């Protein structure tokens, strides 16, 4: 069974109605990144950061996977599919994808403020716990913080993602500007014979179609439909 590795970014979830971070009117326009997505911002104002991620969880509750998410999940019938996502939502899982690597953490999980990557302290929130409050404690007694990889923090899952990229028969990039490292660097590990399909309605920096690189200039759902047709040829 062919191994298909799919790297997804904010453009994937935008079709479900989740705000992207970088586009005009996106979350970074309304919340400075240094306030809500850095360890320093959290140290300065943990209450603001906690509230920001509570809002993100409630927003996630109101949306559902888009057609693109569902098509990627359905691909598992014919291919060995691994999703490597920069998104912190759970839309891939809700659509039915069974192998998902979250590079930047998971919105529905919380962890210790002291040791955020210690598996002993990472846990999934039940729906009634989505509203995290100041004073809610991890098992080590520290304030619960979102299980999110913030700017300036290490990306623990990148090694696993590299391992998967190195085994790809087909590599697909959906809805990411390829501006954020180390995720963007995964392209460097794709085997030389594996075709690379980039699905994005806009030009993507550093992507030059030709040879084994194909740019499908469509949104996530339409692009995945076209990809499936091309893979069947």
Residue 30's pLDDT is 65
d(CA 3, CA 117): 29
For residue 215, indicate whether it is catalytic: no
Q: Are residues 162 and 226 in the same domain?
A: yes
Query: What tens digit of pLDDT does each residue of 180-198 get?
Result: 778 888 999 999 999 999 9
Q: How many CA atoms lie within 13 A of 15 on its CB side?
A: 23
Which of 117, 148, 179 is at the close of a domain? 148
Q: Are residues 33 and 132 in the same domain?
A: yes
| Averaged pLDDT, 53-63 | 89
pLDDT at 96 over 90: yes
Helix axes 67-74, 220-232, angle to 10 degrees: 30
What tokens appear for 134 in the block?
């100041």
Greater confidence (30 vs 25) lies with: 30
Q: Are residues 115 and 206 in the same domain?
A: no
User: Domain count of the chain?
Assistant: 2
pLDDT at 97 over 80: yes
Choice among 69, 92, 102, 104 that is catalytic = 104
Residue 148's pLDDT is 96
pLDDT at 19 over 70: no
Query: What tens digit of pLDDT does each residue of 216-228 get?
Result: 999 999 999 999 9
User: Could you tell me how many residues make up the chain?
Assistant: 233
Q: Which residues does 163 contact at the CB level (< 8 Å), separation at least 6?
A: none
Q: How many CA atoms lie within 13 A of 120 on its CB side?
A: 8
Q: Could you tell me whether strands 105-112 and 144-148 are parallel, antiparallel, or unpaired per DSSP bridges? A: antiparallel
What tokens appear for 123 in the block?
């846990």
Structural domain boundaries, residue 137: 19-62+108-148
Residue 34's pLDDT is 84
Q: Are residues 205 and 233 in the same domain?
A: yes
Closest CA to 67 of 231, 229, 175, 223: 223
Q: Are residues 91 and 47 in the same domain?
A: no
Query: What tens digit of pLDDT does each residue of 2-16 get?
Result: 999 999 998 899 888
Q: 34: domain CATH number?
A: 3.30.1600.10
Which of 148, 173, 203 is at the close of a domain? 148
State pTM to two decimals: 0.92
Q: Are residues 222 and 119 in the same domain?
A: no
Q: Are residues 122 and 214 in the same domain?
A: no
C-alpha distances (whole Å) from 163 to each of 167, 168, 217 are 7, 9, 28
Q: Are residues 221 and 128 in the same domain?
A: no
Residue 39's pLDDT is 95
| Averaged pLDDT, 105-124 | 96
d(CA 145, CA 21): 20
Closest CA to 155 of 94, 93, 90, 85: 85
Q: 167: domain CATH number?
A: 3.40.50.1220
Which of 148, 172, 207 is at the close of a domain? 148
d(CA 101, CA 40): 26
Does residue 14 contact residue 63 with C-beta atoms inside 8 Å?
no
The two counts, helices (H) then strands (E), for the chain are 9, 9
Q: Are residues 86 and 176 in the same domain?
A: yes
Average pLDDT, the chain: 90
d(CA 206, CA 217): 15
Helices (H), 15-153: 27-30, 33-36, 39-44, 46-61, 67-74, 91-95
Residue 23's pLDDT is 46
Q: Are residues 14 and 39 in the same domain?
A: no
Angle at CA 64, nearest 5°, toward 58 and 65? 130
pLDDT band at residue 20, thresholds of 50, 70 and 90?
A: low
Q: Are residues 52 and 163 in the same domain?
A: no
Residue 26's pLDDT is 47
- What is the helix (H) or strand (E) element at residue 124, kind and residue range? strand 123-124
Q: Are residues 170 and 56 in the same domain?
A: no
């Amino acid at each position: 069974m062919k191994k298909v590795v799919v790297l997804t970014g904010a453009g994937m979830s935008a079709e479900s109605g989740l705000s992207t971070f970088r586009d005009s009117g996106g979350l970074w326009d309304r919340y400075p990144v240094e306030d809500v997505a850095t360890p320093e911002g959290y140290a300065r104002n943990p209450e603001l950061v906690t509230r920001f991620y509570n809002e993100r969880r409630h927003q996630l509750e109101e949306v559902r996977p888009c057609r693109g998410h569902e098509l990627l999940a359905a691909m598992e019938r014919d291919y060995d599919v691994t999703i490597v996502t920069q998104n912190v939502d759970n839309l891939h899982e809700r659509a039915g994808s069974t192998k998902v690597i979250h590079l930047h953490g998971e919105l529905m999980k919380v962890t210790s403020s002291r040791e955020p990557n210690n598996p002993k302290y990472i846990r999934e929130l039940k729906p009634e716990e989505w509203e995290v409050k100041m004073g809610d404690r991890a098992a080590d007694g520290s304030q619960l913080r979102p299980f999110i990889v913030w700017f300036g923090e290490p990306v623990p899952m990148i090694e696993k993602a590299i391992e998967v990229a190195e085994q790809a028969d087909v590599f697909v990039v959906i809805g990411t500007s390829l501006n954020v490292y180390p995720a963007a660097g995964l392209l460097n590990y794709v085997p030389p014979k594996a075709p690379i399909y980039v699905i994005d309605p806009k030009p993507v920096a550093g992507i030059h179609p030709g040879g084994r690189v194909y740019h499908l200039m469509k949104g996530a759902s339409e692009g995945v439909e076209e990809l499936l047709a091309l893979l069947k040829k």
